[in-house]
Amino acid sequence: MKVLICDPVDPKAIAAMREADIDVDVNDDVTPEGLEEIIPEYEAMVVRSRTTAREPLIDKATNLKAIIRAGVGLDNIDVEYAESKGIEVRNTPAASSNAVAELAIGYLFALARPIVQATNSMKGGKWEKKQLTGTELAGKTLGLIGFGRIGSLVGSKANSLGMEVLFYRRTDVEVDFATQVSLDEVLERSDYLSLHLPHTPATHYIIDANAFAKMKDGVKIINCARGGTVDEDALYEAIKSGKVAGAALDVFEDEKEDRGRKLMELPEVIGSPHIGAGTVEAKDRVGQETARIAIEIAERS
């Protein structure tokens, strides 16, 4: 099987594929135009978030048997169209779950205690001790919107910190560390809200102006899931009005141009450039799982 690596992947994963007699080409800075030209040569392609696999590319991929997403989200792949063409689409959802969950927990602490603001203040030569009083997480309510692998990990970790954990998801599930409730109840009761769901037509702007109106005054928002699930204009207005006391964002609706610059101008907002899965351990696990999937597909070919 001939595989094209379109985005940077752990070198150990590439070595493992080659050891399994897979013909691997690494072209991890290929342009969209260049990819369309060379894709007919390959039976599988490995992508991360940079490379998209949309209908025009899939139509040119006449020999493609598999698209492997080294990561969780499949937003950059036209999955149904690919599968209609007989192309298998796989990802590595479990490999980076803990890394994203730990970032969300880190943001919980950073919203409760103004760690970022305190650091910036001291770097500016100030000693603003009284102005940097925080709150404790123990005894507060965390609402999770989405409760899959990552959401349940966040809930378990938050419960161990003494938080009451509520969650909303479309299907029923029972756990001993959290309570499933309606979306409205999550919005109305939570001191902190954390999103853990994909961006789909059904979840687009699931947090909008109407949702903010249902929340407690002084609520704090975390989004380490996907841009487009929060209406950023509505979030901006909710922060300016004081409805939302703080927000921590690892993802933005437009990560190519604006990069959330308007929101990041607000002192109540802290953020990062989509680094949820960016740990040494997660990258290693993603690479291992990507290699395992490629080898499995090659053995079936």
Active-site residues, by number, are 226, 255, 274
Question: Which of 48, 8, 44 has the alpha carbon at shortest distance from 24?
Answer: 44
Q: What is the 8-class DSSP label of residue 216?
A: P
Question: Which of 214, 261, 209, 264 has the alpha carbon at shortest distance from 237?
Answer: 209
Phi, psi of 99 (to 5 degrees): -60, -45
Contact 263, 249 (CB under 8 A): yes
Question: Which of 110, 105, 76, 103 has the alpha carbon at shortest distance from 91?
Answer: 76
Contacts of residue 93, Cβ cutoff 8 Å, sequence gap at least 6:
72, 149
Strand partners, 122: none
For the chain, what's the residue count?
A: 301
